[in-house]
Structure 1
Amino acid sequence: MRIIAGKWRGTALTAVGKGDAGMHLRPTTDRVRESLFNVLVGGKFGNPITGAHVLDLFAGTGALGLEALSRGAKSATLVDEGRVAGRLIGDNIKRLGAKSDASLVKCDATRLRDNPGVACDLVFLDPPYGKTLGARALQSAQVKGWLAPDALIVWEEAAPQLAPLGFQQLDARRYGDTHVTFLRLVSPP
């Protein structure tokens, strides 16, 4: 895995190794990540990355949030409760020298604590497949003040998801076995 574009383009991220099967660690491939970012900056959404405050729920390696930072996001908060994921995210933040722009929150993404900072306008959501955690994580982020009033959400899942209450589906794509739904928060928290 590597950073695809931006100021850290081509930088290799820490190898996942054996991963963490118990926590369903499944990094987004370079190819899918590149396609997601092409959609984000390809016109339909303007460029929601530059200057964005990013929230990466179920961050795993942190690749999505760190890719956004590489492409001009202002900050990235990477949320994961897994021990292996926490180590990988920490290693990747150090590797990129992103300590001032990226932070790791070690907690269950479906039970976020109150947001102590700025609400996020771009959210990556990549929950373990088949566990129905995505909607719960979005609701937690909304209730705890993590989502800006018009936040854009990029939700990866094994099967298409219906937009939860308060969110509007803008687009949906399929990359092999991965379904990606683009949502916008339409009712403020």
Structure 2
Amino acid sequence: VLGLEALSRGASRCTFVEKDPVVARQIEENLRRFQRLDQSSILITDTFDVPAEIFITADIIFADPPFHHGMTQEFLTWIHSQVQPDSRLAIECEKDEVLNLDGFEVIRELKAGMDWLRLLRPTS
């Protein structure tokens, strides 16, 4: 949803990463319905298997890890070595979830439904 919203607000390109092929097809259908398929690519893979070159040109990385399964911290630790110094990371998480944000600065926190969206900038 965040990637489609970004495209509708002027993003030139968006790469969607989804492990579940059924959900990936739903993303593709939504992109086709909103005529954004030509601005998108969909990788059907585990996030941790995304090629590093994908992150080289990423201005903003939107992440919605399955935080109810404790994946948020694992993702943050992993993405820190992938993200470029001038990139931003928008990550959805539980409001009271305690995260080690070493290497990131919190730019902004927004309520997103029952969850929170944190906008982060890498610091080192």
TM-score (normalizing by structure 1): 0.56
Residue pair 1:167, 1:183 contacting (<8 A) in 2 also = yes
Which of 153, 156, 173 aligns to 2:89? It is 153
Task: Give the gaps of 5 or more residues in structure 2.
Answer: none
Cα offset, 1:111, TM superposition: 3.1
* Alignment match, 1:85: 23
* Alignment match, 1:121: 59
Cα distance between partner residues in 1 of 2:25 and 2:5: 18
What is the root-mean-square deviation of aligned Cα atoms in Å?
2.2
> Amino acid of the residue matched to residue 122 of structure 2?
L
TM-score (normalizing by structure 2): 0.81
Residue pair 2:59, 2:86 contacting (<8 A) in 1 also = yes
1:9-42: CA deviation from partner (whole Å, max 9, x where unpaired):
xxxxxxxxxxxxxxxxxxxxxxxxxxxxxxxxxx
* Closer, same or farther: CA 75–175 of 1 in aligned 2, 3 Å: closer
Cα distance between partner residues in 2 of 1:102 and 1:113: 16
* Alignment match, 1:134: 72
* Alignment match, 1:18: none
Aligned length in residues:
123
1:51-110: CA deviation from partner (whole Å, max 9, x where unpaired):
xxxxxxxxxxxx210110111111101111012211111111222222221110111113
Q: Identical aligned pairs, as a percentage?
A: 28
**Greater helix content:** 2
* Alignment match, 1:40: none
Cα distance between partner residues in 2 of 1:117 and 1:155: 15
Which of 147, 169, 174 aligns to 2:106? It is 169
